[in-house]
Structure 1
Amino acid sequence: MRAFPPGAILLSLSATVFVVHADTSPRAAKIEFNRDIRPILSDACFHCHGPDKNTRESGLRLDVRENALKEGDSGEWAIVPGKPEESDLVRRIFSEDEDEQMPPPEAHKVLSAAQKETLKQWIAQGAEYQIHWAYLPIERPAVPAPGAHPVDAFIRQRLAAEKLQAAAEADKVTLIRRVTLDLIGLPPTPAEVDAFVNDAAPGAYERVVERLLASPHFGERMAVDWLDAARYADTNGYQVDRDRTLYAWRDWVIRAFNENKRFDQFTIEQIAGDLLPDATPEQRIATGFNRNHMINEEGGVTPEEFLANYTADRVETTATVWLAQTFNCTRCHDHKFDPLTQRDFYSLKAFFHNVSEQGVGDYAKPANLSSPPFLALPIPDVEAKIAALKSEIEAVTQDPGPEAKERLPTLKKSLAEVEKTVPVSLVMDDATPRETFILLRGEFDQIGEKVTATTPAVMPPLRADLPRNRLGLAQWLVDPANPLPARVTVNRYWQMLFGTGLVSTSEDFGSQGEPPSHPELIDWLAAEFISSGWDTKAMLRLLVTSATYRQSSKLTPAAHERDPDNRLLARGPRFRLHGEFVRDQALAASGLLVRRIGGPSVKPYHPPGLYEQVVNTRDNPNSTYTQDRGEALHRRSIYTYWKRSVPNPAMMLFDAPFRESCVLRRPRTNTPLQALNLLNDPTYVEASRLLAQRMILEGGASVESRLGHGFRLVTARLPRPAEMTILKASLERTLRDFQADLAGAQAFLKVGEATTDASLNVAELAAYAAVASTMLNLDEAVTKE
């Protein structure tokens, strides 16, 4: 990989440490700027002596070596390489005179003795600076233990340095549940668990992994995170928030993951599929990625303002997803911490500024036709109706008789009605060339200097042979010379499996983000990803077959003390599931899940009256939530209709984003409302009823076997003796209660539309359903162990 051009890097300094626990003590070994110095200067000095010219004092800038070595306004040299005794920085940080002391007392930043000595030694060693780690070219490091699994070799090397031991491998039941939830977002069936547990032949686990990677549900699981990144929703947002049709793009994403489309091609088609030679409808549908932003249809707003917002959104989303750079900071001014300028922002905007879109959607048109450009989706039945009507209209038009003239208006009206039903998908085009200008302070009507489409100066330049349009931008993003996209992507895959990325701030690889916990490992993975042909399934296979991934997640006292957040990976991953997978697991365990792939979004159970409290009901056909019936109630959660002004509340309780902007990392909260939702939401009450029926009909004749069957369907394992005692006691108690209150049992069993076997005893079924509800509410049920 080629080096960056001289002078292309503006060094930004980070307030975070390069390793999990920064070592700022004096050391005889070589001091590294990124690891040892950058955190100190960023935290204590940059507010007054950093990139922001508006807050800089004394003309001293410490984030760039050339500036730091210059004579200051006071006539002193802050840093004299190799001569700490002549460096004003050293004199001031050691001074006890409050008028001379740096940082000054009023800054409330106090350097420790160790930090002062580290700065002094760094200057004595020559005051060498380093390029920010994320902008360095990717170089594949040597694997520490040749012959070992590469992931394990890097992880074990770090554990040994920290005097920690890796955990033993998780038991087979835990392992198959973990990897199944991770790769398809659904729990393993008891038959799948038994097959794996009883398979003693070498390669049993690897065969499970291959089966999961080949599953059509793999694409559904992978698409959930990508939809967060793309800010996918089924409505336009803002006050009107009418429906849009972009489900074809969502289904394209699912197919792309299932087909293991190369990630570089996956990128190019979404950024610029319409600009490819002889672009197919599928490639045009892929460009819906950058039409997922909100669209305003309100009257009285300024179209130019929202057109500026849409293009800005595309810049910010693209930069976040592929570069993990916070470009939103540069819409109004140069970045305060990273080497990104306002000119960079608007130069990127120029790539996205030629779409033939309107700033405001046309509310007078049907919702699916209000915001071009769009692509009509081929539906054979509808196309046949349109063709027949057009043929009939043509025949009638050629007939001069009065009867024909009378029929013509009716036929045209019928054609218009049918055309309204044609599903479309929002797409990109490049049909409207526009000039691009820097917008002063980000205001749409404050026009500054004209700019042209180009890439940020801090990053490798756009090759001369690439077009200056979205296709060129997409090809630049996946150019192996660009160090960020591969690092950013493998980090997200690591985050998906381990709960936290090697860079925990997966949306920010800049100086304010956290540096990688294992810098050599992330570079090795990035290099491997590129050399594999950007093969997503190969990367996931590599990660889940590592001993690091297969470790037990049990926490030992030593690991809790030394590595409470598991950043060193001395144990396996354990964290709560996404809300989508919590619901999908309940549907799967109960037997309700409809596994059909793709299609329009569906409307499952939803709190009644919620829409009316939030949505403007006047002249708005979307103001009332019309619940679907039948199979649509039990589709996977990725197909749930997502209205931006009223997102699905059950998903929101489990930290799903609003999908108004790009999100690469969901928070994980733990609140009483989550438990209340699992106990009372019709989805889970209905699932508990059907799970109870499975226990009775499939679980055998004894109470123990029935309860054990239900427990396995939810957690993949059998209950321990103490757990079985609690479950039996709960069943006996609720059975007595329902026998005394048959009306209450019947009311409980009527929640939800799915029917149960009428021959089953009402009180018994209700009692098992109550226990099933408890099972679905277990911490273990909603957690990947």
Structure 2
Amino acid sequence: MKAQRLSAFILSLSVMLLDAQAGASPRSAKIEFNREIRPVLSDACFHCHGPDKNERKAGLRLDIREEALKATQSGEFPIVPGQPEKSELIRRITTTDSEDRMPPPKAHKTLTAAQMDLLRQWIAQGAEYETHWAFQPVQRPPVPSMHSHPVDAFIRHRLAARKLRAAPEADRVTLIRRVTLDLTGLPPTPSEVDAFVNDTAPGAYERVVNRLLASPHYGERMALDWLDAARYADTNGYQVDRDRTLHAWRDWVIRAFNENKPFDQFTIEQIAGDLLPNATVEQRVATGFNRNHMINEEGGVTPEEFLAEYTADRVETTATVWLAQTFNCARCHDHKFDPFTQRDFYSLKAFFHNVSENGAGDYDKAANVSSPPFLPLPTPDRLERIDAIKAEIEKARQDQSPESKEQLTKLTKSLKDEESAIPVTLVMDEAKPRDTFILRRGVFDQPGEKVTAATPAALPLMQAGVPLNRLGLALWLVDPANPLPARVTVNRYWQMLFGTGLVRTAEDFGSQGEPPSHPELIDWLASEFISSGWDTKSMLRLLVTSATYQQSSKLNPKAHELDPDNRWLARGPRFRLQGEFVRDQALAASGLLIPKIGGPSVKPYHPPGLYEQVVNQKDNPKATYTQDKGEALYRRSLYTYWKRSVPHPAMLLFDAPFRETCTLRRPRTNTPLQALNLLNDPTYVEAARLLGQRMMREGGTSIESRLSQGFRLITARLPRRAEMRILTAALKRSVLEFQADPAGAESLLKVGETAADGALNVAELAAYTTLASTLLNLDETVTRQ
């Protein structure tokens, strides 16, 4: 009881001090609703007093000003502009009465004294609201005049306001490694580093950027993030998780980025390529974007249930990728934080509800043809063989001899074999529209009101005259009047290059997401993106040629104290590479990497026995992992076979998603398992051996020159003196250890499919292998800085 009285006294004292502080020193600067007030109200109030009319308490709505100024059912006025002392909102958030206090104790949300003070000051200033920043039209703000590059002008304007200074430019070696990894996902070669370092002519860096944007590996790097967004995998998911064939769509994405297909056309072809006039095979392949969802092939499933799941997945994925809105929250009820209704969700669903697909795959058929619609993709050679067999069949039919009948049987089987071997890819089509209903609580067999295809009411209308089908939806998504897609896309490009988006929550531009750190900059970039013709390469070139991007990432204690998360960008960003690029870098540095573009997915090294522990082999007896041989082992990680129930563990360790749903932002963890993987995975042990061989073969005759060669292949720079001393001592120690343990050396050199170079001394090669393994494990190696 004493503790309760003491707590009540402290709370009352806090409120009194808050009142005194508010009365004594009112804030003079205007409070920004979107930046300062909306996040507080959204987190603490909108769940019960927001857009969801069915869950709204006491008839009070706080997300719209006109509603917040009205008297409540009990007669109080929640907000009285200019008079916080008469505002019921302030009384409720500051009262010590647990029955009246808001948010209520059961909500487990407590406003801080600073937040209560902020709300009080805001009401005192007139309680002005703003349309949520992301829903405001994209307008091109003026560029601050203090710098020639527009990105730098906006960034340094904010830095100056916070008494921060930009870091100096990174050294050239760091810079070329940074931009090469960012734009291709691969490290620069020593010759590329030397060429840039020694190029003193004006425009040297810009020439590097243009070379990288023209590289075929640029499309592979860009595709990786898009595969996460599109939830691409090589299997159907769910319990059976059989193989599917969608790599043709993945290869289309790579080509689209390499060809610099304008992002609006990139969007239209993926959403509705089949509906374009005289649609090409390529445009139909592009629609595989919306067939990347999981497909259930289990026996006894209800088709209607999974048709509802597939269409809901398309709505949620489309809304996340192009609008950065959490539409899944409106599937069962009106959105609790943002102005989207359940009607909006199912009206969007109507655009996707007329595909000639089954709710469940046909397990009696091969997995790649069990879930139509699909598109056959015969090669010219196969078409030629099929035509030749058909001609032979026709000839045999004209001959009634017993020999011809026997030949006809064989030819018919050959034709069937050839046709069944034609690869197919899942696509969209436009079948007879199904009726679409609002599903009560999102349950497939509880239909409510019937709806028709329409875009969300809170966003701009579709242009007059566009068709009410997927093509119309695609055109609406890239309409310059739509405030979201351009902002969302340039933010993801910023996230790709700077580690964190201008809006940190790349997947959520709604009230629960974070506001942009530089609102004027994101609007300028969005406007520039649209006016450039949605030119992705132009946007990336703009970003990487800014001084902001080229800054050193070395920590400045003062800047770190004022801006620990580097949101104001007083230094260059430093972050760990994605798992795919960690592996690709090891393959490239060792010389193992096979640079072939596209084709079916490949199966590299995989922990033995893992499949058998996870995969349901009773229902899917053919689901075994058969490791590839030869060049397929050394393809880029983008092409690694992706099984949803067992994604490649080395990728998962570095935070790759399962790709069951859309992912726009991977987490970054730091665990001991990552280091253990880099030390013991056959991929990295073999890469270390090949890197050791390169050091011995290409690095000259001295230990120092060999170690320098290996260090450069991995980090792009030369080792410092202290580093060289440590590496030299470690190498000499390893040589002695392996000379004393020849069996251990032989065992180490046998890891991997490639044979060790028999001309090299076994103990020395084993020592260089362990040294190379150390280099592959350096923090600097797995970090882009």
Same fold (TM over 0.5): yes
Corresponding residue for residue 355 of structure 1: 355
Give aligned pairs, total.
761
Aligned mates of 2:91, 2:276 — CA distance in 1: 61
Which 10-residue stretch deviates more, 384-393 or 417-426? 384-393
For 2:156, the aligned partner's letter is R
Corresponding residue for residue 15 of structure 2: none
Q: CA deviation at 1:43?
A: 3.6
| 1:549 match: secondary structure | helix
Corresponding residue for residue 705 of structure 2: 705
Change (3 A) 1:759 1:525: same
Q: CA deviation at 1:404?
A: 2.8
For 1:482, the aligned partner's letter is N
For 1:202, the aligned partner's letter is P
Aligned mates of 1:588, 1:240 — CA distance in 2: 36
Change (3 A) 1:112 1:295: closer
Corresponding residue for residue 767 of structure 1: 767
Corresponding residue for residue 174 of structure 2: 174
Query: How many percent of aligned residue pairs carry the same amino acid?
Result: 78
CA contact (8 A) 1:243 1:622 kept: no
Corresponding residue for residue 242 of structure 2: 242
Change (3 A) 1:699 1:346: same
Corresponding residue for residue 638 of structure 1: 638
Q: CA deviation at 1:91?
A: 4.5
Change (3 A) 1:734 1:113: closer
1:594 and 2:600 are equivalent in the alignment: no
Which 10-residue stretch deviates more, 406-415 or 719-728? 406-415
Aligned mates of 1:481, 1:626 — CA distance in 2: 51
Which 10-residue stretch deviates more, 623-632 or 29-38? 29-38
Q: CA deviation at 1:742?
A: 1.3
Corresponding residue for residue 459 of structure 1: 459
1:776 and 2:776 are equivalent in the alignment: yes
| 1:73-132, Cα deviation, whole Å (9 max, x unpaired) | 112222233444543334445556666555566666555555444434433433221111
Q: CA deviation at 1:614?
A: 1.3
Corresponding residue for residue 164 of structure 1: 164
Corresponding residue for residue 318 of structure 1: 318
Q: CA deviation at 1:619?
A: 6.1
Aligned mates of 1:137, 1:56 — CA distance in 2: 29
Corresponding residue for residue 35 of structure 1: 35
| 1:636-683, Cα deviation, whole Å (9 max, x unpaired) | 111111111111111111111111110000011111111111111111
| 2:387 match: secondary structure | helix
CA contact (8 A) 2:234 2:642 kept: yes
| 1:397-448, Cα deviation, whole Å (9 max, x unpaired) | 3333333333333322222222121111111100232111111111111111
1:721 and 2:715 are equivalent in the alignment: no
For 2:177, the aligned partner's letter is R
Q: CA deviation at 1:731?
A: 0.6
CA contact (8 A) 2:750 2:756 kept: no
Change (3 A) 1:273 1:55: closer
CA contact (8 A) 2:167 2:571 kept: yes
Corresponding residue for residue 119 of structure 2: 119
| 1:46-99, Cα deviation, whole Å (9 max, x unpaired) | 344333445533322211112111121112222233444543334445556666
TM-score by length of 1: 0.94
Change (3 A) 1:110 1:656: closer
For 2:142, the aligned partner's letter is A
Which 10-residue stretch deviates more, 68-77 or 679-688? 68-77
1:546 and 2:552 are equivalent in the alignment: no
For 1:36, the aligned partner's letter is E
1:667 and 2:667 are equivalent in the alignment: yes
Change (3 A) 1:26 1:273: farther
| 1:483 match: secondary structure | coil
| 1:745-769, Cα deviation, whole Å (9 max, x unpaired) | 1111111111232111111111101
Corresponding residue for residue 517 of structure 1: 517
CA contact (8 A) 1:288 1:428 kept: yes
Aligned mates of 1:105, 1:590 — CA distance in 2: 59
Corresponding residue for residue 142 of structure 2: 142
Aligned mates of 1:103, 1:651 — CA distance in 2: 42
Aligned mates of 1:101, 1:629 — CA distance in 2: 67
For 2:202, the aligned partner's letter is P
1:340 and 2:340 are equivalent in the alignment: yes
Corresponding residue for residue 10 of structure 2: none
Corresponding residue for residue 677 of structure 1: 677
Aligned mates of 1:115, 1:564 — CA distance in 2: 22
Q: CA deviation at 1:147?
A: 5.3
Change (3 A) 1:275 1:146: farther
CA contact (8 A) 1:735 1:766 kept: yes
Q: How does 1:364-763 map to 2 (within 5 A)?
A: 364-618=364-618, 620=620, 622-763=622-763
Change (3 A) 1:27 1:227: same
| 1:603 match: secondary structure | coil
CA contact (8 A) 1:502 1:517 kept: yes
Corresponding residue for residue 284 of structure 1: 284
| 2:467 match: secondary structure | coil
| 1:590-620, Cα deviation, whole Å (9 max, x unpaired) | 0011111111111111111211111122363
TM-score by length of 2: 0.94
Change (3 A) 1:118 1:747: closer
Q: CA deviation at 1:44?
A: 3.6
Aligned mates of 1:737, 1:395 — CA distance in 2: 74
Corresponding residue for residue 185 of structure 2: 185
Which 10-residue stretch deviates more, 350-359 or 63-72? 63-72
CA contact (8 A) 2:35 2:515 kept: no
CA contact (8 A) 1:366 1:420 kept: no
Change (3 A) 1:639 1:266: same
Aligned mates of 1:727, 1:550 — CA distance in 2: 30
CA contact (8 A) 1:26 1:117 kept: no
Change (3 A) 1:762 1:84: closer
Aligned mates of 2:130, 2:763 — CA distance in 1: 71
Q: CA deviation at 1:288?
A: 0.6
Change (3 A) 1:99 1:437: closer
Question: What residue ranges of structure 1 are gaps of 5+ in the alignment?
Answer: 1-24
Aligned mates of 1:569, 1:401 — CA distance in 2: 84
Aligned mates of 2:588, 2:112 — CA distance in 1: 56
Q: CA deviation at 1:326?
A: 0.5
CA contact (8 A) 1:176 1:188 kept: yes
Change (3 A) 1:308 1:114: closer
CA contact (8 A) 1:243 1:367 kept: yes
Aligned mates of 1:681, 1:106 — CA distance in 2: 49
Q: CA deviation at 1:491?
A: 0.2
Change (3 A) 1:285 1:71: same
For 2:641, the aligned partner's letter is Y
Corresponding residue for residue 209 of structure 1: 209
Aligned mates of 2:657, 2:123 — CA distance in 1: 46
Change (3 A) 1:243 1:102: closer
CA contact (8 A) 1:440 1:448 kept: yes
Which 10-residue stretch deviates more, 486-495 or 561-570? 561-570
Change (3 A) 1:115 1:636: closer
Change (3 A) 1:98 1:297: closer
Corresponding residue for residue 260 of structure 2: 260
Change (3 A) 1:619 1:107: closer
CA contact (8 A) 1:26 1:118 kept: no
Q: How does 1:47-86 map to 2 (within 5 A)?
A: 47-53=47-53, 55-86=55-86
For 1:429, the aligned partner's letter is D
